[in-house]
């Protein structure tokens, strides 16, 4: 969004320092001009959008930039998605990604560990599983972190891109559920680290409304019909137990209503065997 030029330059430099084959970079500008960033010799391209399409919309533009000219297939095997205020701490992250995907043909998505650059600590919400007390433990998971991940391009070819209409919140879980339903695996890797300042997601003005709306959309799009009210009901109860402020709760209920009364996009309920698979992985799709 053009508001972190120094951090963005540092991120691009950290990508350029990766071991092994060079990593091609596409920077998507969400309604802003990107000056001084494009460097064809260094493999850095830019795409400027006339408006902010939101997180998944912007990332979909980045995905499109790597599709072949005919629109069928990709000219790369794996795409990294990195927040513009992040920084790759190590120089072997790209090589670790290449090894992970090469060693496991069923691996579709890798979620990096996010660590605060000052303290080195990882927030619980950045460990994409219910048992999040040990962020240094790698494991199979059922979702991933949107701003620090790698996705095999075959996943996009098979299940489609991120849900652009979500704009912000839960777009990763939507893609993760579709990928798992198609038979792909998702790993959380503690050794692949993106440095990122510790922040609260509620800093965004749209947070409470979109979190609620997109929870409902997520369920309506992906869950078998009997689980839709269970999933939404559990999250309603959890929200009330957390005792948000009056304005936050009002925004949340506004988004909750919007999730039921507006189009969620195409509905493709996951198979019951995928529900069981998610449950075996420790996160049944009701929470």
More confident residue, 278 or 68: 278
**What pLDDT is stored for residue 19 in this prediction?**
98
Q: Quick one: fold of 5-199? A: Spore Coat Polysaccharide Biosynthesis Protein SpsA; Chain A (3.90.550)
Task: Assess whether pLDDT exceeds 90 at residue 70.
Answer: no
Of residues 265, 228, 164, 261, the one with CA closest to residue 253: 261
- 216 has a pLDDT exceeding 80: yes
Other C-beta atoms lying within 10 Å of the C-beta of residue 261: 9
Name, in order, each residue with C-beta under 8 angstroms of 212's C-beta and a sequence gap of 6 or more.
239, 251, 252, 253, 254, 255, 256, 258, 259
Q: Where in the chain is the domain with CATH 3.90.550.10?
A: 5-199
Would you say residue 72 has pLDDT above 90? no
The token duo for 270 is 């996951």
Give 12's contacts (C-beta < 8 A, 6+ positions apart): 25, 27, 37, 44
- C-alpha triplet 68, 169, 8: angle, nearest 5°: 60
Side-chain-side CA neighbours of 244 within 13 Å: the count stands at: 18
pLDDT per residue as tens digits for the range 155-177: 999 999 999 999 999 999 999 99
- Give the rounded percent of residues in the chain with a pLDDT score beyond 70: 98
What is the reported pLDDT for 149? 98
CA distance 170 to 164: 11
Residue 90 pLDDT greater than 90, yes or no: yes
What confidence tens digit (pLDDT) does each residue in 14-47 have? 999 999 999 999 999 999 999 999 999 999 999 9
Q: Is the pLDDT of residue 200 over 90?
A: no
* pLDDT tens digit sequence for 106-163: 999 999 999 999 999 999 999 999 999 999 999 999 999 999 999 999 999 999 999 9
What percent of the chain stands above pLDDT 90? Answer: 94
C-alpha to C-alpha distance for 30 and 57, rounded to whole angstroms: 9
Q: What is the pLDDT of residue 204?
A: 58
What pLDDT score does 202 carry?
Answer: 61
For the chain, give the DSSP string.
Answer: --S-HHHHHHHHHHHHT-SSSPPPEEEEEESS---S--BGGGTEEEEEESS--HHHHHHHHHHHTTB-TTSSSBSSSEEEEE-TT-EE-SS-HHHHHHHHHHH-TTEEEEEEEEE-TTT----GGGS-SS--S-TT--EE-S---TTEEEEEHHHHHHH-S--GGG-SSSHHHHHHHHHHHTT-EEEEEEEEEEE-----GGGSTTHHHHHHHHHHHHHHHHS-GGGHHHHHHHHHHHHHHT---HHHHHHHHHHHHHHHHS------PPPHHHHHHHHHTT--TT-
CB-CB contact of 25 with 45 (8 Å) = yes
**Cα-only R_g, the chain:** 19
- Report pLDDT for 201: 73
pLDDT at site 203? 57
């Amino acid at each position: 969004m053009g508001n972190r030029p120094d951090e963005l330059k540092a991120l691009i430099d950290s990508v350029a320092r990766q071991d092994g084959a060079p990593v091609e970079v596409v920077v998507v500008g969400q309604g802003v001009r990107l000056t001084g960033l494009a460097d064809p010799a260094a493999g850095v391209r830019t795409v400027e959008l006339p408006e902010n399409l939101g997180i998944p919309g912007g990332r979909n533009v980045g995905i499109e930039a790597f599709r072949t000219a005919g629109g069928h297939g990709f000219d790369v095997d794996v795409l990294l998605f990195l927040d513009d205020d992040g920084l790759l701490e190590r120089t072997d992250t790209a090589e670790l990604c290449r090894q992970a995907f090469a060693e496991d043909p069923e691996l579709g998505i890798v979620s990096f560990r996010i660590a605060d650059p000052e303290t080195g600590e990882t927030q619980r919400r950045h460990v994409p599983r219910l048992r999040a007390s040990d962020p240094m433990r790698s494991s199979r998971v059922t979702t991933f972190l949107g701003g620090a991940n790698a996705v095999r391009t075959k996943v996009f070819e098979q299940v489609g891109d991120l849900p652009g209409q979500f704009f912000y919140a839960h777009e990763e879980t939507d893609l993760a559920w579709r990928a798992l339903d198609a038979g792909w695996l998702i790993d959380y890797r503690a050794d692949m680290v993106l440095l990122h300042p510790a922040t609260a997601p509620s800093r965004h003005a749209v947070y409470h409304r979109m979190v609620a709306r997109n929870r409902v959309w997520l369920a309506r799009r992906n869950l078998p019909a009997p689980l839709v009210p269970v999933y939404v009901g559990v999250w309603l109860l959890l929200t009330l137990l957390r005792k948000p402020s009056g304005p936050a709760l009002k925004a949340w209920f506004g988004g909750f209503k919007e999730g039921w009364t507006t189009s969620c996009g195409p509905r493709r309920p996951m198979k019951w065997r995928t529900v069981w698979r998610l449950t075996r992985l420790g996160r049944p799709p009701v929470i």
